[in-house]
Amino acid sequence: MAVLKLQKYGSPVLREKAMPVSKVDNEVRELVENMIETMYAEGGVGLAAPQVGVSKKIIVIDIEEKGVIVLINPVIIKREGETKEEEGCLSVPGVYSTVRRSSTITVEALDLDENKIRITQEGFLAIALQHEIDHLEGYLFIDRLSPAKRLMIKDQLKEIV
């Protein structure tokens, strides 16, 4: 296993729409292992493949000792309610801001055995899923801030680039 280099704000790969994974092979499994190691090494609770420079639809999440969730080609198929919590991102170091998200979501994806799975989550896990799935579409949490909040973090963003 290896800790991979994190892509930070300003890196073009973070703005790409990631490609679906066509086959969960050893290469994908190795990437997932390295993503998990990188997430732990950097002290994050979630990571998307574009954050380590790989434009593929893969996310890993580990919140509150519930164990690691690995989702391949995740798609949000249902959203309910609304919530607002402070978010941060390993790719946008030092920036934290409150983001409006759906409070409950249902996601369809493949697991590491290529089985189709469907999970419904609420709370922090729902927020983390939306945050990581956003990465696969080329979005960062700062894109979801109001214009006033974006203005407040403008200088911090300049320091990252």
Active site members: 132
Q: CA dist 114 to 2, 72, 126, 133, 140, Å?
A: 23, 8, 22, 18, 27
Q: Which residue in 84, 122, 117 sits closest to 105, CA to CA?
A: 122
Q: Which residue in 62, 65, 67, 64 sits closest to 38, CA to CA?
A: 62
Which residue's C-beta sits nearest to Ni ion? 89
**Strand, coil or helix: what is 118?**
strand
Q: CA dist 38 to 42, 56, 131, 139, Å?
A: 6, 16, 17, 20
* Nearer to Ni ion among residue 23 and residue 161 (C-beta): 161
Q: How far, in Å, CA of 70 to CA of 37, rounded?
A: 13
Q: How far is the CB of 147 from Ni ion (least distance, A)?
A: 21
Residues in contact with Ni ion by CB under 5 A are: 89
Q: Which residue in 67, 49, 51, 46 sits closest to 11, CA to CA?
A: 51
* Nearer to Ni ion among residue 42 and residue 122 (C-beta): 42
Q: How far is the CB of 15 from Ni ion (least distance, A)?
A: 13
Q: How far is the CB of 113 from Ni ion (least distance, A)?
A: 26
Q: How far is the CB of 148 from Ni ion (least distance, A)?
A: 22
**Strand, coil or helix: what is 129?**
helix
* Nearer to Ni ion among residue 75 and residue 96 (C-beta): 96
